A and B are shown apart, each in its own frame.
Chain A
Amino acid sequence: MNRKLITIAAACLITFFTVSMAFALGGGNGRKGKFLYRKNCYKTCHEEKVGGLSPANKTQAEWTAIFSDTSKIPCHDKWPAVPEKDLNDIFTYLHDYAKDSPSPAKCS
């Protein structure tokens, strides 16, 4: 039973990351992305362990590179199953408030 569950979970993860690597980046809802980032990423990984990861920690090009191949993100295995649309919203938030963006994020 356990082995069956693990197989299903692994299949889900593979599907998720395959999809996430293929989706078109940008044009999402950055406002919702901020909410989703806080909900899915910040509390899980980036609050305590990294001292708070903000969109302004990276350039737009760096965020684009990261989201072009999410499997290379060190904490990717801790991600919940985020739908593609939500992932793009998160990317849009991080990209649009990156350190070299017109409106770099302030701490919040």
Chain B
Amino acid sequence: MSESSQKISRRDFFKASGLIAAGAVGGGAVLGGLRKARAAAVPVKPWDSKFSACDMCFNKCGLIARVEDGVVTKLDPNSKFLKSRGMLCARGNAGIDQVYDPDRLKYPLLRVGERGEGKWKRISWDEALDLAAQKMEAVRKDYLPCGHLFSAGTDLHSQFVGRFAEVYGSFNVTSHESLCLVSNNRAFLDTFGEVPFADVLNSKYIVMAGANRFEALVTPDSIDLMTAMRENGCKLVTLDPRYTKTAALSDEWYPVKPGTDMAFMLALAHVIIGEKLYDPQWVEEKTYGLEQLAEHVKQYTPGFAADQCGIPAEAIARIARELAEAAPAAMIYPGRRSSDYEDSTQIRRSFAIVNGLLGNWDRPGGLLAARVVGLKGVPYEAPWYDENHEDRIDADKVPMMFEHEGSFLLTRDAVLAEDPYAIRGWFIYKTNPMATVPNRKKTIEMMNKMDFVTVVDIAMSDTAWYADLVLPSQSYLERYDPCSGLQGSSACACVVKRDPVIEPLYESRSLFDVMKGIANRMELGEYFDFTIPEYREKQLRELPGAEKILDRDGVYYNPSKVYGIYDGRIYKTLSKKIELYNQRYEQMGIDPLPVYTVPTKVPANRFRLVVGRNALVTQGSTANNALLHQLLPTNTLWINPNAAKKFNITDGDLVEVSSSVGRQEIKAEVTDRIREDTVYMLSGFNTLSTRQHLAHGNGASIAEILEGGYDTVTGNAALHTTFVTVTRKVA
């Protein structure tokens, strides 16, 4: 895509955003007014308005669906929904096109050709559930319960995949998070004792390294960041090899050399400690290991960091002083996706440590602890199977994997090697590893290892395309969902739920109904012997009146404490303090303080391929959305003009991008918004599935090119360690 066409897309986006904002502050009245004028002649209610929560990404923004004659005609933001500040983004508006996508799965399909050949036979739900149960029983009998893998994406029904796996007896459950945020969570959990929420709104100084909050939207942070900057004078410093929209709106942008953020952070710590810019009493009372840290960071001078990351030493020292001056209302923004390098946990530990020195924990403008939401768990007594493997298939490969998330890459390697045991069945719900996991060919190999793969999804994703049985799931506007507790930083701690806004389309069923149907056929029905409304009653048992408020407002707020949550409480670490120096790491043979490693040099005539987001893309699930397709018709390869010139590439040329694992063709977008040694493309395009007519054969699949490195502490994917060649395709 050319830069000019990118500008048109951006204008379109802001136009759409303007409409959305109008909707938030009274657009409903404006549009409703037009409707009412028409309705004056025919006295019928023009539309029903029904609360729901968006499902186009993980944020779950509150919305109001306008329904006419059983059809959703518009999605408006719920102005009472504080977490999103009454906003519904372009993707949120495009939720309609997910529901009414002509490519949507309509009935159960059984594969009749080879995997990936695209030959399917329509079958009934009874046949489908009988078959799924029979195959799962067979796998459990032949390979023990852990011989079956379960994978679920971010969804309010995904907890029922976990419940099913547990009562079935498998420990092997993976989520999307080991392709995303687990190293960030690991680092902050191991420093502060919990994963924080950033009080962006009240911050005076934010350093954002690698995060792109004005495009990769996180609520309320994305909206609050703009408010903080425009209304509260917050300063934003961005480190990113790309000139993102966040970079464009920052006070300062540094095109940091990829993989060197840790050097920058340790140099900040060097200055803050060396010049005693921290609050000595706070650090003494609340943190552990200042002495060791001080000794450790002596070597990481601003000059050293400047040589590594390309940011001038004077700027590094100045930023450290400015941060300290603004502290505690200052922060190194924790970010979210941290699946970048093989030391991504230690990189984020360096972020966390600087925050510790700023004394910003649990204070306005800093990092906040989770607030009380009040939802309760719904426990169950899962059976125990003595005849089973002892642990997960990916156990003991890295020292600090989150067991409830697993590591997809380690699981895949173990499945392929059949080490320590064989896995032959795979149940997948609303996640698309074929589009999101590096090295797509290897994921196909993993598929080929399976005796039977069942996929439940709304669309024929690439993962569904390679499955044996594909079951059509309901969209978020067609089903009952369990309640969900959301953390909205200083904005709120709240509860949302979803009720059906329209009748389910086609033969779609909810994941819960699918699990219940299979469980009933496997004598596991007792674990699913309830309805979603009954389940919600149990979740809400300690929040009397909450259900009524949810029905009235579409959201329930718990007026719980925001700041000072840790007053008089210990930190959940071994030292019971914020661990600048991590004692458990030392015990486990992991560096207790982050040790900087120089990233592998980009080989001659190659580029580092980096991953990123824009506001119109959610992984592999939005490229086939008709509305979003209008705003973003394809993906392109960002390449710097100097690099492009060297390889005789001009804007719009078709280029081949090759790594050690795959190659793709894509149009070049020659732009100075990226470093010379780096190239970038969006994910989700060029599906193998022909049943995604807007995404198939369109652009390039980044999953085909990315290699499969991982973080050595958590097993999180390392998505920024692939080097590629870029060659102009001759017509």
Contact = CB atoms under 8 A, between A and B. Distances in A.
B599 interface: no
Contact of A38 (B381, B400, B402, B542): B381
Contacts of A39: 381
Contacts of B400: 102
Identify the interface centre among B400, B402, B404: most chain A CB within 10 Å of its CB: B404
A60 B380 CA distance: 24
Contacts of B403: 103
Contacts of B482: none
A47 B381 CA distance: 12
B571 to A, nearest CB: 8
B572 A104 contact: yes
Interface string A36-47: 101100110001
A92 B593 CA distance: 28
Interface of A: 29, 31-32, 35-36, 38-39, 42-43, 47, 51-52, 59, 99-100, 102-104, 106-108
A38 B380 CA distance: 8
Contact of A52 (B190, B376, B404): B376
Contact of A107 (B193, B377, B380, B382): B377
B384 interface: yes
A108 B377 contact: yes
Contacts of A35: 381-384
A52 B376 CA distance: 9
A32 B574 contact: no
Nearest to A100: B572
Contacts of A42: 379, 381
A102 B584 contact: yes
A107 B384 contact: no
Contact of A106 (B190, B391, B404, B573): B404
B171 interface: yes
Contacts of A43: 381
A99 B376 CA distance: 17
B573 A100 contact: yes
Interface of B: 171, 189-190, 193, 376-377, 379-384, 390-391, 400, 402-404, 542, 570, 572-574, 576, 584
A47 B380 CA distance: 11
A59 B380 CA distance: 24
A18 B574 CA distance: 30
Task: Tell me if A's interface is mostly helix, strand, loop or mixed.
Answer: loop
14 contacts: A31-B391, A35-B382, A38-B379, A38-B382, A43-B381, A59-B570, A99-B193, A102-B190, A102-B584, A103-B404, A104-B189, A106-B404, A107-B376, A108-B377
A31 B392 CA distance: 11
A31 B170 CA distance: 11
Contacts of B390: 29
A56 B75 CA distance: 40
B281 to A, nearest CB: 24
Nearest to A105: B404
Given A52-B376, A59-B572, A100 B193 contact: yes
Contacts of A108: 377, 379
Contact of B572 (A47, A99, A106): A99
Contacts of A102: 189-190, 400, 584
A35 B380 CA distance: 10
Nearest to A61: B574
A44 B25 CA distance: 52
A99 to B, nearest CB: 5
Given A52-B376, A100-B574, A107-B376, A32 B404 contact: no
Contact of B384 (A32, A47, A51): A32
A52 B171 contact: no
Nearest to B402: A103
A47 B171 contact: no
Identify the interface centre among B193, B376, B377, B584: most chain A CB within 10 Å of its CB: B377
A77 to B, nearest CB: 23
Nearest to A103: B403
Given A42-B379, A52-B379, A100-B573, 20 more contacts: A29-B390, A31-B171, A32-B384, A35-B383, A36-B384, A39-B381, A51-B542, A52-B377, A59-B572, A100-B193, A100-B572, A100-B576, A102-B189, A102-B190, A102-B400, A102-B584, A103-B404, A104-B189, A106-B377, A108-B379
Contacts of B380: 38
In the A-B complex, list the 4 residue pairs whose CB atoms are closest, starting with the nearest: A107-B377, A35-B384, A100-B572, A99-B572
A53 to B, nearest CB: 11
A36 B570 CA distance: 29
A31 B403 CA distance: 11
Contacts of A29: 390
A38 B383 CA distance: 10
Contacts of A38: 379-382
A103 B714 CA distance: 12
Nearest to A31: B171
A92 to B, nearest CB: 13
A4 B715 CA distance: 59
B565 to A, nearest CB: 14
Contacts of A47: 379
A108 B171 CA distance: 15
A29 to B, nearest CB: 8
Nearest to B539: A107
Contacts of A31: 171, 391
Nearest to A36: B384
A38 B382 CA distance: 8
Contacts of B382: 35, 38
Contacts of A103: 402-404
A35 B193 CA distance: 26
